[in-house]
Amino acid sequence: MATMNNEESGRRRESFDLVAEYYNMYRSQYPQVVVDTIIVLSNLHKGSRALEIGCGTGQLSVPLAQHGIDLLALELGPHLAAFAIQNLKQFPNAQVKVSSFEAWPLFSQQFNAVISASAFHWIDLNVRFSKPAEALSPGGFLTILHVHHVRGGTPGFIADTQPFYLKWGLSNDPSFQPPAPDNVPTMYPELAQLPMFRSVERRYFEIPMKHSTASYIGWLHTDSLVNSINDQSRHGFLQDIERLIESKYNGEVVRNFVYEVIVAQRAS
């Protein structure tokens, strides 16, 4: 995988707000077993204080709020945040702020957990671990959810889509395959070496996701890689994928994912 420079990373990070309506419609809440694991490993209870980094439109925020957690959710994109506010309006224990984590004013040692789902990799390396540690009370938890695209799902589908990734400039690797479910890369291995954290725990869940043609195309609309190409190319790419699913897969495909939950306890 090519490494993004800071400018490209910034553009892709901000691209989600341009497709906020798609994001709200096609990015579903996380599987219940994943949410339950986050809550248990983070030792969260009703009234616990949690900071969520990059809440999107509330995919994790809503189930956290449903558990009675006192939640402050940060979201860089104002359009995404507007959807999150709407989705959380019935929960007085949840608050959404439009801000990057980097710019958010820190009040030290106030949260029982700092949580980030599918967003932690966008945070500036200079504060990625140090600022969450400062935001946590002693013994609090930094909890990260990373979703890996893996092999499995509808046989042949990934291989059939790869020519379109090449055609429209989204890949330069004709032999690309996602990793096997039991061979995903370990995310943030450096956590185990940082003195501000201890007892890093990891849990992995392999969970397939079924899509109709419409939901898969809608989901691709929220992909920052897809949104990194120009409008004409993006339209052509999505049209090719749509035709493939309709013509060869009878309007339905399954993609396979591994959800990696990482929990690191702040040292006292």
pLDDT at residue 12 in the model: 75
Q: Are 71 and 126 in contact (CB under 8 A)?
A: no
pLDDT of residue 2: 44
Q: Which residues of 22-46 are buried (b: 16+ CB within 10 A; e: fewer)?
A: bbbbbbeebeeebbebbbebbebee
Render pLDDT for 195-243 as a digit per residue (tens, 0 to 9): 999 999 999 999 999 999 999 999 999 999 999 999 999 999 999 999 9
Q: What is the pLDDT of residue 14?
A: 79
pLDDT of 182 higher than 70: yes
CATH numbers and ranges of domains, the chain: 6-153+178-208+257-266 (3.40.50.150)
The string of pLDDT tens digits covering residues 37-71 is 999 999 999 999 999 999 999 999 999 999 999 99
Nearest to 141 by CA among 266, 35, 268: 266
Whether residue 237 contacts residue 164, with contact meaning beta carbons closer than 8 Å, is answered with yes
pLDDT in tens, 243-253: 999 999 999 99
> In this model, does residue 7 exceed pLDDT 60?
no
pLDDT, averaged across the chain = 95
Asked if the model's pLDDT at residue 1 lies above 50, the reply is no
Residue 123 reports pLDDT greater than 60: yes
Averaged pLDDT for residues 117-138: 96
Task: Write the pLDDT tens digit of every residue in 67-104.
Answer: 999 999 999 999 999 999 999 999 999 999 999 999 99
Query: Per-residue pLDDT for 5 more than 60?
Result: no
Nearest to 15 by CA among 256, 220, 260: 220
CA distance 131 to 38: 20
Rounded-to-integer distance, Cα 69 and Cα 87, Å: 16
Spatial contact of 66 and 91, defined as CB atoms under 8 Å apart: yes
Residue 6 clears pLDDT 80, i.e. is over it? no
**Neighbour tally for 242: CB within 10 Å:** 16
